[in-house]
């Protein structure tokens, strides 16, 4: 077979080295070894022409046709043959592992293995197993840029382990993908692995998937506790987990810490906006940790607590706005969802309504003791201890309890577990039916008395008329 130019050289590796001329001009330079016909020479960045400007025929040295001056930089880019392996043997004469031009001085071949020792302990390749035309490295550590190998130490490494170390300020490992394939694939089973670690040609990272659809895609397809979860944290005891369950189509954000004060916090530009603590209490706009009534400004919610929902503010606490139409803005339900009250609005007013449909009632009778019971009420004037400068009209709850019990909540002298009072309350609107009944009785009495007065007046007027 014929070729245009030089025929391809098998088993080669590309190298680049530079020499700066010092002391005096020179025209002869030694290299680490090149394949003749596969070398380029540059003088101060300008490529020289082979034969016209230099000769390179012996595979080791380069002769310039004219001297390079002091300070000139002579660079070589070339290919060199690597050690060929054939039929379980290695041609040591072509072995070209060096450390800054120091050749390896001892190569021991035993059966199908080779042990390479280096000068000054610079290179220690522990085991290279040769089978047919292949080499397997039981363990090897490559440092710096890998070629030439400056320090390889297998101590402490397990079988089939590769460690890359370096102290350079530049990139230690760089992978460039100019095609459409993946830039990096790490697999934990024989090829092809359906759940590898992948960096694709777009720079998207996939963990547990070979086809990431976003900058980071984490996927899993088993019922193992750790599957489908992205863990973020210092260690296994303090982690935040993000878990997508494809079976139930649910997204879970979990704080796995068992610290009593743990919380999941959401911030906006460094400012806390929402917190879910270990008790399940949720706070919006307030960072206070404590009872619901102690929040400064924000919303508190904790299902199952004595106060499952609280809102606090120094101005308007809550706004309920019904757009465009009139009707209900708040509805109150009890038990299994039975409506027991609501707040309705119109364009100009608000109505506070409680359930009163006749279809919800039975045993309907008239109130016949309205006046008697109203006379038992004891309207008073007083001030609350918390507001000593304001006197108001009202009732004392326990005094009303025996007269209109449905108007009163709580029990007289009740206290909480900590000894604080559990105050009674009154819904004064519940007194209206009794007051209405008493007023009706009074009207009936007035009308009866008016009839009697009218009759007496008529008799008097008739008597006076007859006497005249």
pLDDT attached to residue 267 = 85
Q: Which two tokens stand for residue 301?
A: 């919610």
Residues 128 and 112: their CA atoms lie apart, in Å, by 9
List the one residue out of 244, 247, 210 whose CA is nearest residue 229.
Answer: 244
> Is 0.75 topped by the overall pTM?
no
Buried b (16+ CB within 10 A) or exposed e, 11-44: eeeebeeebebeeeebeebebbbbbeebbebebe
Contact by Cβ (8 Å): 437, 370: yes
Q: 418-456 b/e with 16+ CB inside 10 Å = b?
A: eeeeeebebeeeebeebeebbeebeeeeeeeeeeeeeee
> Given its phi and psi angles, is residue 280 left (phi above 0), alpha (psi -120 to 50 degrees) or beta?
left
- What is the predicted pLDDT for the residue at 249? 82
Secondary structure of 110-135 in HEC code, one letter for each residue = ECCEEEEECHHHCEEEEEEEEECCEE
In a domain, 285, yes or no: yes
Query: Is 140 a domain residue?
Result: no
- The domain in which residue 345 lies consists of 327-360
304 and 376 inside one domain: no
Quick one: 458 and 371 in the same domain? yes
Q: Which residues have C-beta within 8 Å of that of residue 139, sequence separation ≥ 6?
A: 126, 127, 154, 157, 158, 159, 160, 161, 162
User: Is 97 in contact with 34 (CB distance < 8 Å)?
Assistant: no
Q: Is 434 helix (H, G, I), strand (E, B) or coil?
A: helix
Q: Are residues 391 and 454 in the same domain?
A: yes
Do 341 and 429 lie in one domain? The reply is: no
Contact present, 363 and 391 (Cβ < 8 Å): no
The phi-psi region of residue 291 (left if phi > 0; otherwise alpha if psi is between -120 and 50; otherwise beta) is: beta
Looking at the structure, tell me whether residues 56 and 24 fall in a common domain: yes
Residue 411 resides in a domain: yes
Single out the residue in 281, 312, 343 at which a domain terminates: 312
Claim to verify: residue 350 and residue 370 sit in the same structural domain: no
Instruction: Assess contact for 307 and 293: CB atoms under 8 A.
Output: yes
**In a domain? residue 282:** yes
Q: Domain count for the chain, please give it.
A: 4
Q: Which two tokens stand for residue 202?
A: 């777009």
Does the residue 348 lie in any domain?
yes
Nearest Cα residue to 195 out of 213, 211, 215: 211
Considering the domain architecture, whether residues 374 and 293 belong to the same structural domain is answered as no
82, 114, 131 - which closes a domain: 82
Q: Is residue 97 part of a domain?
A: no
Residues 353 and 405 in one domain: no
Provide the CATH number for the domain around residue 454. 1.10.10.10
**333 and 394 housed in the same domain:** no
- Backbone torsions φ then ψ of 180, nearest 5 degrees: -100, -5
Q: Burial, 4: exposed, middle or buried (Cβ in 10 Å; 0-12, 13-18, 19+)?
A: exposed
Q: Select from 112, 117, 108, 110 the least CA-distant residue to 130.
A: 112
Contact 41, 56 (CB under 8 A): yes
**What sign has the CA pseudo-torsion 115, 116, 121, 122?**
negative
In terms of DSSP bridges, do strands 238-245 and 250-255 run parallel, antiparallel, or are they unpaired? Answer: antiparallel
Kindly report whether the peptide bond that precedes residue 192 is cis, defined as omega within 30 degrees of 0.
yes
Is residue 3 domain-shared with residue 58, that is, in the same domain? Answer: yes
pLDDT at position 143: 40
Half-sphere exposure of 79 (CA within 13 A, CB side): 12
State the CB neighbour count (10 A cutoff) for residue 80: 20
Answer with the one of 60, 82, 104 that is the final residue of a domain. Answer: 82
Q: Establish if 112 belongs to a structural domain.
A: no
Radius of gyration of the CA atoms of the chain, in A? 48
From first to last of its 468 residues, what are the pLDDT tens digits of the chain? 343 444 444 455 678 899 999 989 999 999 888 888 889 999 999 999 999 999 999 988 999 999 999 999 999 998 876 555 444 444 444 444 443 333 444 444 444 444 444 333 333 444 444 443 344 444 344 443 333 333 334 444 455 566 677 777 777 778 888 888 888 888 877 666 767 788 988 888 888 788 887 888 777 644 344 555 666 665 555 567 777 777 788 888 877 777 767 788 888 888 888 888 777 778 787 666 666 566 666 776 766 666 677 777 778 888 889 988 899 999 999 988 889 999 999 999 999 999 999 999 999 999 999 999 999 999 999 999 999 999 999 999 999 999 999 999 999 999 999 999 999 999 999 999 999 999 999 999 999 999 999 999 998 888 777 766
Does any domain span residue 400?
yes
For residues 344 and 301, state if they share a domain.
no
**Which pair of structure tokens corresponds to residue 397?**
């709850």
How many CA atoms, within 13 angstroms, populate the side-chain half-sphere of residue 207? 9
| One domain, residues 20 and 61 | yes
């Amino acid at each position: 077979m014929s070729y245009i130019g030089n025929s391809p050289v098998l088993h080669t590796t590309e190298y680049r080295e530079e020499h700066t001329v010092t002391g005096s001009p020179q025209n002869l330079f030694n290299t680490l070894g090149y394949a003749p016909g596969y070398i380029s020479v540059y003088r101060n960045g300008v490529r020289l022409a082979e034969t016209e400007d230099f000769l390179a025929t012996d595979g080791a040295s380069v002769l310039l046709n004219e001297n390079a001056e002091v300070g000139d930089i002579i660079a070589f880019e070339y290919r060199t043959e690597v050690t060929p392996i054939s039929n379980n043997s290695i041609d040591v004469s072509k072995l070209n592992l060096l450390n800054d031009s120091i050749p390896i001085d001892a190569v021991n071949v035993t059966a199908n293995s080779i042990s390479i020792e280096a000068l000054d302990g610079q290179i220690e390749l522990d085991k290279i197993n040769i089978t047919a035309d292949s080499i397997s490295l039981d363990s090897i550590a490559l440092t710096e840029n890998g070629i030439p190998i400056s320090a390889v130490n297998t101590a402490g490494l397990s079988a089939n382990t590769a460690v890359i170390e370096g102290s350079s300020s530049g990139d230690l490992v760089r992978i460039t993908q100019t095609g459409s394939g993946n830039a990096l694939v790490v697999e934990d089973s024989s090829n092809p692995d359906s759940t590898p670690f992948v960096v694709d040609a777009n720079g998207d990272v996939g963990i547990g998937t070979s086809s990431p659809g976003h900058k980071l895609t984490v996927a899993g397809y088993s019922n193992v506790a750790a599957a489908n979860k992205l863990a973020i944290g210092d260690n296994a005891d303090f982690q935040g987990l993000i878990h997508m369950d494809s079976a139930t189509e649910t997204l879970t954000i979990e704080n796995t810490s068992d610290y009593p004060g743990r919380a999941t916090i959401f911030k906006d530009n460094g400012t806390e906006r929402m917190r879910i603590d270990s008790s399940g209490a949720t706070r919006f706009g307030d960072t206070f940790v404590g009872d619901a009534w102690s929040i400064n400004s924000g919303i508190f919610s904790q299902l199952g607590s004595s106060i499952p929902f609280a809102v606090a503010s120094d101005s308007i606490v809550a706004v309920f706005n019904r757009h465009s139409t009139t009707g209900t803005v708040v509805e109150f339900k009890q038990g299994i969802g039975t409506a027991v009250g609501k707040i309705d609005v119109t364009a100009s007013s608000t109505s506070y309504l409680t359930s009163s449909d006749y279809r919800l009632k039975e045993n309907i009778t008239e109130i016949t003791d309205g006046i008697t019971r109203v006379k038992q009420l004891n309207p008073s004037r007083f001030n609350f201890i918390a507001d000593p400068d304001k006197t108001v009209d009202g009732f004392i709850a326990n005094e009303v309890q025996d007269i209109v019990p449905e108007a009163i909540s709580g029990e007289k002298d009740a206290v909480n577990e900590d000894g604080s009072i559990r105050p009674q309350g009154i819904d004064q609107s519940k007194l209206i039916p009794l007051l209405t009944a008493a007023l009706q009785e009074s009207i009936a009495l007035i009308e009866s008395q008016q009839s009697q007065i009218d009759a007496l007046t008529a008799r008097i007027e008739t008597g006076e008329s007859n006497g005249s």
